[in-house]
Chains A and B, each alone.
Chain A
Amino acid sequence: MLSRVSNSLYWMSRNIERAENTARLISVRLIGSIEHEENHWDELISIIGGNEAFEKKFDRYDAKSVMDFMSFSSSNPNSILHCIKLAREDARAIREIIPQELWEMINSFYWDVRQFKQENWSIDTIDHFYQMIIRQSALFQGMVEATLSFDEAYLFIKMAKFIERAEKTSRILNIYYYRSEDPDHNDPSLYRHWFAVLQSVSGHEAYLKRHRPFISGERVIEFLLFDDAFPRSIQYCIDQVYSVFQELENGKIEHYSEDLHQLIALMRNRFHEMTVVDALTEDLHQFLQRFQQDCFKLGRLINKTYYLGEVYV
C-alpha cells in the first residue's frame, strides 16, 4: 500500500474519532449545565489545547462562544467541522481505496455538518447536532467493520482510532482531575463531577455495572486508566494498538519496525505494571503528561516506520 494512503487512512480515522470525542465532551457539559450553573467552560478549551486560539477570537469563556469555537470555528484546527472536513479530504484522497459506501457516508456527513453551521443554531437545539456527530461516528465505525477487508488499510484505521482515544481520555483526566483533591465521597458536586467525567467518555454505564453507584475520584481514575474491558480506558486502547501492530507486522520485528515496537511495548508494559496508587503517588498530571508525550512520539515513529509524510526534511 502507498505510504500516503496509509497516512490518509490514519488521519481520516483519527479525525472522525476526534470529532466524536469533542461532541460528547460538549454534550455532557451542556446537559450538566441545564440543572447547574456551570462556569467552567474554559476547561473544554483546555482539553483540546486551544486556549490561545480561542482568546484571539473571543473575550469570554461563555457557553455559546466555547461551543461555536469547538464546533465550527475555522480558527480551531480541532473544531468538529474542521475534523470532519479533514477526514473527508483524506477519504477523498483515497476514495478509490475505500468502499464507495464508506466514502458516500463521510461525504454526506460533511455536508450535514456544514449545513448545521449555516443554520442559526441555539443552545437549546445544538445537542441534536452533537448527537448526530456521535451517531455518524458510530456509523463510520460500523461500516469500517462491515465493508472493509481486514487488511493493512483496516489495521491503520484501527490503530489511529485507539491512539486518538487513549490520548483524549488522558487529556480529559488531566484537566478534570484537579477538582478531586477533596476526598469527601458524599459531596454531591464531586459525585456529579466524576459522573460527568465518566459520561464524557461514555463510561458511566460500564462503570456502574462494575462499581455500582459508588463514585469516587480514585475509582474513576482507575477505571479510565486501567480497566481492561472498557473501550476508552487508556490501558485497553494501548493493548489494542499493541495487537494491531503485531498483526500489521505478522508478529515479527524487522529492522525498520524495531523502534516502533519498542515504544509500543514500553507504553503497554507501563500500564500493566502500574496501579492507580502508583499513578496518584507519582502525581497524576505528570503521569498523564508523560503519556501524552509518548503518544506524540508514537505518532512520529509510525510516520517514520511507514514512510508516512515526508521522511526527508
Chain B
Amino acid sequence: MKYKVTQNTHYRYEHSVSQSINQIRLKPIDDVKQECLSFKKEFSPDVPSYTYYDYWGNHVETFYAWEDHNELLLVTTSEVIIDPYAFINTLSFSPQMHDAFRSTSFQQQYAEFLMKTYYTTLDDEICEQLTVDFWNQSPNPFEYVKLVNKYIYDTFTYQPGSTTVQTTAAEALAKKEGVCQDYTNLMLALCRYRGIPARYVSGYLYVGENSAMRGDSATHAWVEVKMPTAGWIGFDPTNNVLAQDQHIRVAVGRDYADIVPLKGIYHGGIQHLDVKVSVHAIEENVKSMK
C-alpha cells in the first residue's frame, strides 16, 4: 500500500508568545517493512529547524520560533509504502525458539523493552492475576500476546476524554476505559511481565472509506513485540488486530515519553493546539523497491 499522509499542526495562543522551542517526531519510520518515500515540512511563519535521530532511531526535528507570534502552522506531508507481504499472522515456535526466548542473551539484548517505566508500571500481583490463564493456555508467547490483545480490547471501553496523556497503565486499568495510548500502556505492562520485549509505537492509522477501525484517524498508538528470529510484530489492542499495512509507523520507544510527537517550551500566553490528519491510500498492491 502506498499512502500520503498530511498533518496540519496549528498552534494558536491567547496572547502573543516568543522564545518558543519545540521538538517534533512526525517523520514516518523508514525500514524493511515500511519505506518513507518523502517527508516535507512547512512552517508559517518560517522558522529555523534542525534534525537528529534519537537512541530509538526516530527522526526528531527541533525548531525555534523566536519572535513574537500569535499562531504557528506546521504542515507535514509524507509518502509511505508499506509492504503487505512483510507481515505474519501466525508464528510457530520451535523448541529452539522457546529456548532462545528464555535465554539470558535475548532478555539482555532487549532489556530496555522489558523494564518498568512511568507509564507501564503495574504491580506484579496484578499482572500475574490478569495473565495467568492466558499464559498457561498459550503454546507460545506469540499466542499469549494475541490473547492479551483481545483481552484488553474486550475489557476496555473506548472513551475519548476519559484519560489524559499522563494516565498510566495502572490508572487506566482501574477505570477500564481510555484511548489507544491507555490500551497500549497496559499491553506493554502485560507483555513485559512475561518477559516479552514490547515497545510503544506511535503513528497514523489508515481507516479507509468504510472501516470499522477505532481510533482517532489522526494519530494512533499500538504495540510491537519482539519474538526470537522474527522481527518486531505489531499488535493493536484498540482494534484487536495485528498492526499491518494499515498502520503507518512514525516513532518507537519504551513508552510515550520516548516518542512524544509534539512538545515545546515558550514564553507567553495559553496555547491551543489543533491537529488535523488525513491519510489517503494512493495505490494498492505497491511493493517497496527496497
A and B touch in the complex (CB under 8 A): yes
Instruction: Tell me how far the C-beta of B63 lies from the nearest C-beta in chain A, rounded to whole angstroms.
Output: 18
Whether, in the assembled complex, B246 has its beta carbon less than 8 Å from a beta carbon of chain A, the answer is no
Instruction: Tell me how far the C-beta of A173 lies from the nearest C-beta in chain B, rounded to whole angstroms.
Output: 40
Whether, in the assembled complex, A256 has its beta carbon less than 8 Å from a beta carbon of chain B, the answer is no
A312-B268 Cα distance, complex, nearest whole Å: 7
Instruction: Tell me how far the C-beta of A3 lies from the nearest C-beta in chain B, rounded to whole angstroms.
Output: 15
Report the nearest B residue to A312, measured CB to CB. B267
Q: Mark B1-36, 1 if CB is under 8 A from A, else 0.
A: 000000000000000001100000000000000000
Instruction: Tell me how far the C-beta of A219 lies from the nearest C-beta in chain B, rounded to whole angstroms.
Output: 51
Contacts of B229-280 to chain A: CB distance below 8 A: 267-268
A312-B16 Cα distance, complex, nearest whole Å: 11
A side interface size, CB within 8 A: 2
Report the nearest A residue to B267, measured CB to CB. A312
Instruction: Tell me how far the C-beta of A77 lies from the nearest C-beta in chain B, rounded to whole angstroms.
Output: 27
Whether, in the assembled complex, A123 has its beta carbon less than 8 Å from a beta carbon of chain B, the answer is no
A15-B59 Cα distance, complex, nearest whole Å: 52
Report the nearest A residue to B18, measured CB to CB. A312
Instruction: Tell me how far the C-beta of A114 lies from the nearest C-beta in chain B, rounded to whole angstroms.
Output: 38
Whether, in the assembled complex, A1 has its beta carbon less than 8 Å from a beta carbon of chain B, the answer is no
- Which residues of chain A are within 8 angstroms of B268 by Cβ–Cβ distance? 312-313
A interface: dominant SS: loop
- Which residues of chain B are within 8 angstroms of A312 by Cβ–Cβ distance? 18-19, 267-268
Instruction: Tell me how far the C-beta of B19 lies from the nearest C-beta in chain A, rounded to whole angstroms.
Output: 6
- Which residues of chain B are within 8 angstroms of A313 by Cβ–Cβ distance? 267-268
Instruction: Tell me how far the C-beta of B153 lies from the nearest C-beta in chain A, rounded to whole angstroms.
Output: 47
Q: Mark A274-313, 1 if CB is under 8 A from B, else 0.
A: 0000000000000000000000000000000000000011
Report the nearest A residue to B15, measured CB to CB. A313
A312-B13 Cα distance, complex, nearest whole Å: 15
Instruction: Tell me how far the C-beta of B267 lies from the nearest C-beta in chain A, rounded to whole angstroms.
Output: 4
Report the nearest A residue to B17, measured CB to CB. A312
Report the nearest A residue to B19, measured CB to CB. A312
- Which residues of chain A are within 8 angstroms of B18 by Cβ–Cβ distance? 312
A31-B268 Cα distance, complex, nearest whole Å: 52
Contacts of B196-227 to chain A: CB distance below 8 A: none
- Which residues of chain A are within 8 angstroms of B267 by Cβ–Cβ distance? 312-313
Instruction: Tell me how far the C-beta of A221 lies from the nearest C-beta in chain B, rounded to whole angstroms.
Output: 45
Contacts of B140-182 to chain A: CB distance below 8 A: none
Instruction: Tell me how far the C-beta of A309 lies from the nearest C-beta in chain B, rounded to whole angstroms.
Output: 13
A313-B268 Cα distance, complex, nearest whole Å: 6
Report the nearest B residue to A311, measured CB to CB. B267
Instruction: Tell me how far the C-beta of B286 lies from the nearest C-beta in chain A, rounded to whole angstroms.
Output: 49
A108-B21 Cα distance, complex, nearest whole Å: 44
- Which residues of chain A are within 8 angstroms of B19 by Cβ–Cβ distance? 312
Q: Mark A222-259, 1 if CB is under 8 A from B, else 0.
A: 00000000000000000000000000000000000000
Instruction: Tell me how far the C-beta of A313 lies from the nearest C-beta in chain B, rounded to whole angstroms.
Output: 7
Instruction: Tell me how far the C-beta of A188 lies from the nearest C-beta in chain B, rounded to whole angstroms.
Output: 60
Instruction: Tell me how far the C-beta of A166 lies from the nearest C-beta in chain B, rounded to whole angstroms.
Output: 33
Q: Mark A176-189, 1 if CB is under 8 A from B, else 0.
A: 00000000000000
A227-B283 Cα distance, complex, nearest whole Å: 89
A312-B18 Cα distance, complex, nearest whole Å: 8
Q: Mark A146-157, 1 if CB is under 8 A from B, else 0.
A: 000000000000
A313-B19 Cα distance, complex, nearest whole Å: 11
Instruction: Tell me how far the C-beta of A181 lies from the nearest C-beta in chain B, rounded to whole angstroms.
Output: 48
Report the nearest B residue to A310, measured CB to CB. B267
A313-B15 Cα distance, complex, nearest whole Å: 11
Instruction: Tell me how far the C-beta of B21 lies from the nearest C-beta in chain A, rounded to whole angstroms.
Output: 13
A313-B18 Cα distance, complex, nearest whole Å: 10
Instruction: Tell me how far the C-beta of B7 lies from the nearest C-beta in chain A, rounded to whole angstroms.
Output: 29
A173-B267 Cα distance, complex, nearest whole Å: 41
Instruction: Tell me how far the C-beta of A125 lies from the nearest C-beta in chain B, rounded to whole angstroms.
Output: 51
A313-B17 Cα distance, complex, nearest whole Å: 9
Instruction: Tell me how far the C-beta of B66 lies from the nearest C-beta in chain A, rounded to whole angstroms.
Output: 11
The residues of B with any CB-CB pair to A shorter than 8 Å are 18-19, 267-268
Top 4 A-B pairs, shortest CB-CB distance: A312-B267, A312-B18, A312-B19, A312-B268
The residues of A with any CB-CB pair to B shorter than 8 Å are 312-313
6 contacts between A and B (CB under 8 A): A312-B18, A312-B19, A312-B267, A312-B268, A313-B267, A313-B268
